[in-house]
Structure 1
Amino acid sequence: MDQQMDIYVNEEGPFGYSSKRKSLAKSSENIYESLEPNRTGPALSSAEDVKKSSCRAAAVGQGVLSLLLLTGLITLVHLFTKGNSEWEMKMALLHNSFTNLTQERDQLQTRYTNLTEGRDQLQTSYTILNQERDQLQTSYNILNQERYQFQKRIEDMTKEITDLRKKLQDLSNKQEWVYLSGSFYHVSSTKKKSWQGSRDDCVQKGADLVIINSREEQEFIRRFPKPMWIGLTDKETEGRWKWVDGTLLTQSYWMHLEPNGRLSRDEDCAEISNNFLSNSWNDDLCNIEKFWICEMTSPLYMARFVRGEQSEITDYVNLPEPSARSVGQDGGVTAAGSGGKLYRLVAVSFGLLCVLQVAVNISLHLYSFYSKTPDEAFNCTNLRSELITFDRFSQQGWVYFRRSFYYFSTEQSSWQKGRADCQQREADLVIINSKQEQDFTRQFNKVSWIGLIPKRANGTWKWVDDTLLTQSYWSPGEPNGFGGRDEDCVETRFLDRENSWNDIPCTDQNFWICEKMIEL
């Protein structure tokens, strides 16, 4: 009993597993030691019982231990298996997380690279925009300066054209000034003077004696039916003829055997002598008194000449030479004169400047000038329209006199056909409102229809614009319905008289004069 108690000695002690084994081993040794001296007698059965009990107890203990060990192993295997599965799951999750993180890292790296490139591009764009801003600022400053310069130029040009318009109006308002192809001409009508006296009179008028540069100008001048001084002389060197502007004579229209210094006289000045001849020049003594013709170059035409453009006088209308002019359907003549081109050039140039001014004002948001822009554009448009109209009639060969253009036909027809031709040209038969206009129309030495017809109600006369006749220039005894004829139309017939009108049947054949008023 004591031995058995020794077996379980220290069984309950903590961490007593090794002590327990030692006790068991010691008990076994005691068992076997006690068995050996007691092999005889009654003690043998007790020993066997003890031995059997001890073996049984050992077997039971080992079974329990084996069971516990198996349970522990099963538990450990279960726990290991469970832990391994969880570990594998965690590893899988970690691997997935790693993969995702790697992808996110790569994406972040790509985004970083893109952002870096974008930053560099933005920096480059910022630098470029800075440069463009500086360039735009510079351009703005330059445009501002140019705007002021253009504004100044437009103001100067507006003033210049206003002055030129005033000069043109002043010239057109003067008696006997006629415009043709860039020049104004004044033919003296009341007095005669020597060549030098004639030239002095022209100079006082801001002009000079006429310089004839072309066949057209020669034909225009010889239509004034009177001998007149022209600006040609050989006073400085005998036989070396020069114009009053100092240029040498290159194209001449001397009469046959002229110049000749007839009877050895000192004939140093030239005149238009015989107006019925194409070559009508004659040399004569300079102190003889004659009529004269002055020429003033239009300021606009002179401006064109100063710019180095070619200047020619080519657009007088009523010339018979087909080689010099193109003939229209009605026998009238159409000219392409450089004087007309000049006005077209001025009109287009000024119009472009006006458009440029408006464009600059809008593009630069020049609010301070907005109030001026409509008026400037309106003035530019009006002036351009006026100059274009002036140009159109000028290049078609019309003659400008006192705010009107005049067309002198080169063929004859009835009064009604003559008027229809004028209306087709956006004009009408001439209306004569003053003595100056009356003298002007008869200077061209053609019997011509005028725009006067009888008013049937009471026999009074009216003009083609329906205004009543208030100032007339009837020839003595006219109108008379000569021979009982129905003379319902009026012509200018007696051209050597101031009062030259005559009534005549409307079906007779005459030249005609068209008039188109142009306000400049």
Structure 2
Amino acid sequence: MSEEVYEISDGFEDDEPDAMKNTDIDDQLYANVKAFKSSTRDGVVESVHVQWWKRPSGVAAVCLGLLCVILLAGIIGLSVYYGVIDHHNSTERNKLLASYSNLTEEKAQLQSSYNNLTKEGDQLQTERDFLSGRLTNLGWQNFDSSWYFLSDDTKTWKESREDCLERGADLVIINSREEQEFLFNLNKGVWIGLTDSVTEGNLIWVDGTPLTTPRYWHKPQPDNGAGRLDYCEEDCVEIRKDQRPLEAWNDLSCDRKIYWVCEKAMSKVIYAEPDMNKKVKFDRGEMEERIVDIYISADTLRDEPDSSGKRPFLVVAVVLGLLCVLLAGIIGLSVYCESVSNFIAIHLVVSRAEQHCQEGWRYFDSSLYFLSTEKKTWKQSRQDCLERRADLVIINSREEQTFVFNLRMRAWIGLTDSVTEETWKWVDGTSLTTGYWGKGQPNNGGLFPGQEDCVEIYYRQADPVQTWNDDNCGTNHNWICEKEV
């Protein structure tokens, strides 16, 4: 396409460097750690896959299976053994069953016995009043079965949570409409214990549970900054005091300093009012005598030398239990070692990606992209990419095309038909399958046919997927390099 087709207003050349400088890659980098692909091209440790039975955890799993077989065989053998000798214990067992039947009949009396509970209820009431008074004097407020601390200064989300943890609490977790209204009525904009800083778009509470319901967002939140660079990434949640009580949540940059609310949950048993009206008559001495009789009968049955047969069973049970504990320890150690290995590998990948990003690269999906600040011919541009251990960008998907378009540059990409006219190939030698050509392109020069064998992306087009233009390979343009992480 000739240059006249793309004539634009003044300022087109000058605004490209500014657009290139305003991309924040840090949050996107960590949100996509799981998508990293190991590569030895940049010194990153390559993943090694082995058969599952060769891993420590696989060996431990096989051992656990064998142990389960042994345990099952032992249980079956013991069951047969006790089935044979069960007739020796029938008389003693019948006596015990009769004793337990009597106890079952008197169970209602035991369940309704609250003589001791009356005294314990009074003690719990006293302890509750003491605890309430102490927390109130320290600036805490009670609601339902929890205590809440409202800060009188401002901190970041992370600093706020650390303050709560030091108080033996955590940032507040909202579980009901009433709790949301209580916090809103504190009349301050405060941090709550909700964030998607681990995985973008996956909101979780500080106790690790995902956000389900209730949700009290102020429309149209959450919007992660609505694309405005001055808002930065918004991965933490606040309650705004200038909204309606049930539409007050807003995502905000975790580095903003605002007030916060800590929550310390108390057992509902402490706050339950004991029922002091239930009184019963209970002969404790008689019941103790019955219990003693049952234990004497049980001891007699256990100590009979010819009819018990339970000691071998206990020995087997203890041995199997120790084996289970030992195997659990082996499995735990294997899982821990694999976790440490995976953590080290991920850390190396992240470190390498951060190093590239500090050198002017940007991350998308599983690749890094370099945007030039100067202009060169297509061949010179590719040579620059190769010197950076990369190559001109190869666009493999609609999403990658949209990403490159949003870089807002008029730049060379790694596509050419310089070897065979109208046979478009990428710089890695693969043929073009899906193209994102502008209208009427490629036209091999238009007014000057046969001179346009290289492809640029032209961001001034309205449709992101109709931006490619064939141009003379000797024209000076910016360029975009790509390398896999």
Tell me which interval the TM-score lies in, with the shorter structure as reference length: 0.3 to 0.5
TM-score by length of 2: 0.34
Say which one has the larger Rg.
1
- Higher relative contact order, structure no. (Cα contacts within 8 Å, ≥ 6 residues apart): 2
